[in-house]
Structure 1
Amino acid sequence: MLSSPSSSSKPIRPAADLNSLLSFEERSQLDLVLDHFLDKGCIEETEGGLSEGERFWMTRECIIRYLKGSKWHSSQAITRIEATLAWRREVGVDDITAESVEPEAVCGKAVVLGFSTSAEPLFYITPSKRDTEPSDRQFKHIVWIWERCGDLMGPGVESVVVLLNCDKRPSASLSSKVRIILQMMTHHYPYRVGAAHVQNTPFVLNAFLSLVWPFIDPQTKSKVDMKGKVVELGHVERETLMAEFGGDLEFEYKHDEYYPYLAQLAASKRADAMQRWRSLGGSVGISEWDVKTWEDEEEPTSSSMRDDGDLKTMIREEMLEQTRIPVVDCIY
């Protein structure tokens, strides 16, 4: 249930060129962001430049998510991306290992298991299973799991379905954790939450959410379900949903079996994607459609797989096309 969703739920690559799915103005804004990072000498790993992991993270779709979160203003998107790069370096996102956060995983309080009807990874969080004291490692564990969700996403999938069960959790502590996670998602993972289902919401958390609710974007609000109606809303099939959320899946967490498998699977998928990314030039702005694949599919092919690897030239050539097709929104 971790390696690949059902074939019927997998996104299909658009028949049209990916850039033609954006308006001319949107493509112009995208090119400005690419120019900023390419022209600053960020292609090579030099002092002040981006590391290989950071360039790999900054895919075409990643940049577009930041542009959408900035109302398609390139300058704001650049500021937000640079702020996230600083945050990722401060937290050490690319340096967090499965071993370093494993003590937080033993109890099974955060589990990735199965996929939604849109092929999004399902991320279950049960704070009541916590068996360690509050620490920086707890936060890094959530970050590590979230990053692994990204590794498990196939081409065309950009978001995660979060399922939070608040049963038996002390309210004040839970509210603090939710606030930290909300801040992280808002600032550093825009358009990455496809849906959020919460059940057994305690009074204090409800009070906290009522205070911040007026300031939350309407699109975000539409993705939040506070009554745990996962199946009713059509986000997950009942047979693949954990029983605690009303599904038929009786899942017993066995750390010695689950955790090594998740770590190995995610690492393998990431390594394969990075190898394809390197073959395309190893630059910022390469499409996830070209570097990701499902386990049961052939290697992706694309017109972007050119010998010259000049991504910026390719984009500028494609921008000369005057075809305008309505924008296809990413899942928020």
Structure 2
Amino acid sequence: MATAAPVSGEAPELEKRLEEVKLESNTTEAPPPTQNTREASREKSFAATLREKQDGVLKTPIVDPVETAIPSALTELTPEQQEKYEALLVTVKSWKDVPSTKGKEGPVTEDEIMWLTKECLLRYLRATKWVTAEAAKRLLGTLTWRREYGVGELTGDYISPENETGKQIILGFDIQARPCLYLNPGRQNTEPSPKQVQHLVFMIERVINLMVPGQETMALLIHHKSSKTKSHAGPGLSQGKEVLSILQTHYPERLGRALIINIPWVVTVFYKLITPFIDPLTRQKLVFNEDMRKHVPPQQLWNEFYGDLDFEYDHEAYWPALMKLCEEKHKEQHERWVKGGKHYGESENYIKGGNTPSIGSMVAEVTEEKTTPATLPEPVTGTPEASTTVA
């Protein structure tokens, strides 16, 4: 049936009401952002800015490895290794305080719990040949050292003068997606001091910030190119031993490969003196005078190390960019850890944005399975005989 047309007196009133409806619809709040909207918003990050193609010489860090660079596949734990890991995790969870002889003792902090990841515990187990008690002792020793050394208190502003010449540069990734830390002894700009060691520790922490999901190690690239400026004394044997002690004791299993080229005879003597203090596993990772293009994709290998990457160290451009990128990465990782439930033994792959679920989500799934009541059978309809049979 056709709808009757409004009489002339009703038309203006109807038009007015329609206009009010339009106005109301225009002032209605926008719906909450969808997942795609959130992703687009999150992509407008500092890392995204650095990913944008830059014309001319590169002066800032590289955010991602090349597509063909993939971390080595992880080896599954044996039942015995899994048991040792779980025993170590129980021990670590029992720690209420971190000891110190320098007035730094106190309750375990959130940052320290976040540091005690599954991969961290496994690194210490591997470094101690799977002796659980020794791994626990070394882990607690590192927590104490990190507090007393002030690892978390070292800032970009404090370290900045040490790196004004670019004697340490984090740039690009090797063929297994390890972040590359370039050491340029020829650019030394300060005399040997404790601050030089702090500088290296600070840069290693920044390298760890930039590790991609599935990668736990870094690549060291060392070029003993002579300096064109005033010569500063190189590290003495005592400082070399201190650095080695810190790396081997507090950063076990973090070195993936060290590529060293253009070694003068003086440095050769230094390496020979210090070699006895290098553990055998680390020694196997030292590669001398090889073509670095075999180990680092040429497009991400600095041309001063015989790659194709046209990079120039400009402290005013590079240093603030590195600090901002690392701060952003650390914030994102901390937010994921908090969202996952602030667990001991959290997966680094999850924290860094990989496809591994958080411990919290796995615990929730198991709990849900255990607490979900069993489904009762549907009541049977039909003849009394059928009902009796089912019962």
TM-score (norm 2): 0.70
Within a 5 Å distance, the mapping from 1:164-175 to structure 2 comes to 164-168=222-226, 173-175=234-236
Distance 1:92 1:154, change over 3 A: same
Q: Distance in 1 between matches of 2:130 and 2:343?
A: 22
> What is the Cα deviation at residue 72 of structure 1?
0.5
Match of 1:292 among 348, 352, 363: 352
> What is the Cα deviation at residue 33 of structure 1?
1.2
Give the equivalent residue in structure 1 for 2:162: 104
Match of 2:337 among 257, 271, 277: 277
Match of 2:210 among 147, 152, 162: 152
The one-character-per-residue Cα deviations of 1:16-71 (angstroms, maximum 9, x if unpaired) are: xx9xx21111111111111111123369xxx7332222111111101101100000
**Cα RMSD (Å):** 2.8
The number of aligned residues is 298
Give the equivalent residue in structure 2 for 1:22: 77
Answer yes or no: is 1:131 the counterpart of 2:223: no
Q: Distance in 1 between matches of 2:110 and 2:219?
A: 28
Match of 2:251 among 189, 213, 216: 189
Distance 1:307 1:279, change over 3 A: farther
Gaps of 5+ in 2: 1-60, 99-104, 368-391
What is the identity, as a one-letter code, of the residue corresponding to 2:186? S
- SS for the counterpart of 1:40 is coil
Contact 2:175 2:296 survives alignment (8 Å)? yes
Contact 1:161 1:194 survives alignment (8 Å)? yes
Higher relative contact order (CA 8 A, sep 6+): 1
Contact 1:171 1:203 survives alignment (8 Å)? no
Contact 1:291 1:300 survives alignment (8 Å)? no
Q: Distance in 2 between matches of 1:172 and 1:25?
A: 49
Match of 1:50 among 88, 94, 108: 108
Distance 1:307 1:156, change over 3 A: closer
Gaps of 5+ in 1: 294-298, 314-332
Give the equivalent residue in structure 1 for 2:270: 208
What is the identity, as a one-letter code, of the residue corresponding to 1:302? P
Within a 5 Å distance, the mapping from 1:52-131 to structure 2 comes to 52-131=110-189
Q: Distance in 2 between matches of 1:28 and 1:149?
A: 31
Answer yes or no: is 1:243 the counterpart of 2:298: no
Match of 2:91 among 36, 40, 46: 36
Q: Distance in 1 between matches of 2:277 and 2:196?
A: 27
Match of 2:199 among 127, 134, 141: 141
Identity of aligned residues (%): 34
Q: Distance in 1 between matches of 2:235 and 2:291?
A: 21
Distance 1:12 1:220, change over 3 A: closer
The one-character-per-residue Cα deviations of 1:242-286 (angstroms, maximum 9, x if unpaired) are: 122221223210111111111011110111011111112213210
TM-score (norm 1): 0.81
What is the identity, as a one-letter code, of the residue corresponding to 1:59? T
> What is the Cα deviation at residue 212 of structure 1?
4.2
